[in-house]
Amino acid sequence: MNSPDIPLSRITLPDWSRWAGRPWIIALSGGADSSVLLALAHENRRLAAGLEAVYVHHHLQSVADSWEIFCRERCRELGIPFSCEHVTVDTSRGSTEAEARKVRYEALSRHMAPLEHPVLFTAHHKNDLLESAFLALFRGSSLRGLVSLKPEKPFRNGTLARPLLSMTRAEIEEYARSHDIGFVTDPTNLQDNYDRNFIRNRVVPLLEERFPDCAEAVSLTVKHLAMEERVLERHLAALLEKNILTFPGTDIPVLDLGGFSRERERDEAMLTVREFLRRQHLTPSRGKLEELLRMWLSPVPDKTGHITENGIRIAIYGDCVHVVPRFHDRLKGCTVRLTPGDTPERPELSGRFQDLVFRIFRKPAGKAPEIPLPAEITLCFLPALSEKLAFPGRSGHTLMKGFWKENRIPVYLRSCYPLWISDGEIMGVWQLRDTRAGRERFGTPREQDSRGFPVPASSAWELRITEE
């Protein structure tokens, strides 16, 4: 029997045509929301390139076995392929909810991997949006945190979509009753030990008593904030494009804050640094970002300093922000010989040092000078500062210490530029300069790099370092 408070004509159903022609994966838990999501996907399955449902078994509740059976039987009735993913949730690591969510999405993404542009559907609705907004506020989240529950966003090799954000929990349950869609109920939803449940059971009912349309109002607010976020992202993208540098011979991005005013544009610098790091999958806290900016604002010339996020160093060097290459410290004093090798990636030369694998590939024709690769080379990482190098056009020798200073290469990026040796002679500093011996061996190139130096012979090849 339909609820008089929620006529079916008022319920806004999602338009599935926007995902037509793509494989669909339904994250199915057996609850009312995901059961309705499954039913709606089934009604529109003619639009999909394929449809399957995945139940993630977290092994956190004894009744979860029965939920799996329910989901499996429901998919059998609808003729939808069903899979169950068993995962282990580490309850000792902070929030159980957060850990469960992490392993759940990892399990679901495994079903996306073999598909072309798949769509993963989850059953979040307007009430989830309301609860998430409160959680974000209580955690001191930024604008991005407040609008994190979006109707659609890129995810892994496809898209994560939330079609039911147009519906409230009550509307979903009414739709389920009116269409005779069975579902299971999680008994822990009534317990207040989880933050989300506390907000759902204790806070939201009080708000709805005073503000009956609060879920709708917050949904509208989040839409406004999402629009403002898109404008901000475009602005930040323009700033990054203008201020990101790359050191010669590397693909390591470096953010130059030299163009920002120390006073007037401090907030803009903070947002730009945060976006720069986010694109490298690093999300330090505001406190850590403030510490990084204090280093930048320091009046000391050639200032240096760093913060650490997930074991990765984020460093300040003058006006530049660097993400330190992860192998830097382990390469100090490393000398590795690279010889012709036959691996799955088929590099020209390869070698090993402990559990690190070094591979050299020839760059595509037209993107680098046509220079023959020596039959064998040796790479010497982070040599002694007293090492002497003989460069063309200079009398005498240059100390390694002076070379680093002259080229303004920070300590933590020097491992990207090993000395490379062939037939017992130093041919140059990888991707930066040829020595006199290297110039005699390979000739004088016509091209110049961004600094006005002749392009070194090593620019014809690419060095990749991976952990085995």
Bridge partners (DSSP) listed for residue 337: 378
Can you give the three-state secondary structure of 302-367, one letter per residue?
A: CCEEEEEECCEEEEEECCEEEECCCCCHHHCCCEEEEEECCCCCCCCEEEEECCEEEEEEECCCCC
Q: How confident is the model at residue 250 (pLDDT cuts 50, 70, 90)?
A: confident
- Check pLDDT > 90 for residue 362: no
**What number is the average pLDDT over the span 144-171?**
93
- Check pLDDT > 80 for residue 445: no
Q: Rounded to 5, what percent of the chain is helix, strand, coil?
A: 40, 20, 40
Strand boundaries in 396-459, DSSP class E? 398-399, 419-422, 425-429, 433-434
Give me the pLDDT at residue 102, please.
Answer: 92
Give me the pLDDT at residue 1, please.
Answer: 36
Give me the pLDDT at residue 88, please.
Answer: 94
What whole-number distance in Å separates Cα of residue 156 and Cα of residue 217?
31
- From the list 306, 310, 324, 298, the residue with the least C-alpha distance to 414 is 324
Q: How confident is the model at residue 113 (pLDDT cuts 50, 70, 90)?
A: very high
- Check pLDDT > 60 for residue 210: yes
Residue of 88 and 412 predicted with greater confidence = 88
**Residue labelled with tokens 């269409």:** 179
- Provide the CA 297 distance to its chain's centre, in angstroms: 28
What whole-number distance in Å separates Cα of residue 221 and Cα of residue 92?
36
- The strands making up 320-323's β-sheet, listed across from edge to edge, are 244-246, 253-256, 320-323, 312-317, 304-309
> Which region, left, alpha or beta, applies to residue 30 given φ > 0 means left and ψ of -120 to 50 means alpha?
left
User: What's the pTM value of the predicted model, to 2 decimals?
Assistant: 0.74
**Residue labelled with tokens 């976020």:** 229
CB neighbours of residue 44 within 10 Å: 19
| Least confident piece of the model among 148-162, 181-195, 292-306, 418-432 | 292-306
- Check pLDDT > 90 for residue 333: no
Give me the pLDDT at residue 301, please.
Answer: 64
- Check pLDDT > 60 for residue 392: yes
**Angle formed by the axes of helices 286-297 and 266-278, to 10°?**
120
> Which region, left, alpha or beta, applies to residue 434 given φ > 0 means left and ψ of -120 to 50 means alpha?
beta
- Specify burial of residue 11 (Cβ count, 10 A radius: 0-12, 13-18, 19+): middle
| Average pLDDT value for the chain | 89
Give me the pLDDT at residue 95, please.
Answer: 80
CB neighbours of residue 348 within 10 Å: 17
- Check pLDDT > 90 for residue 114: yes
- Check pLDDT > 80 for residue 9: no
Residue of 409 and 421 predicted with greater confidence = 421
Give me the pLDDT at residue 346, please.
Answer: 65
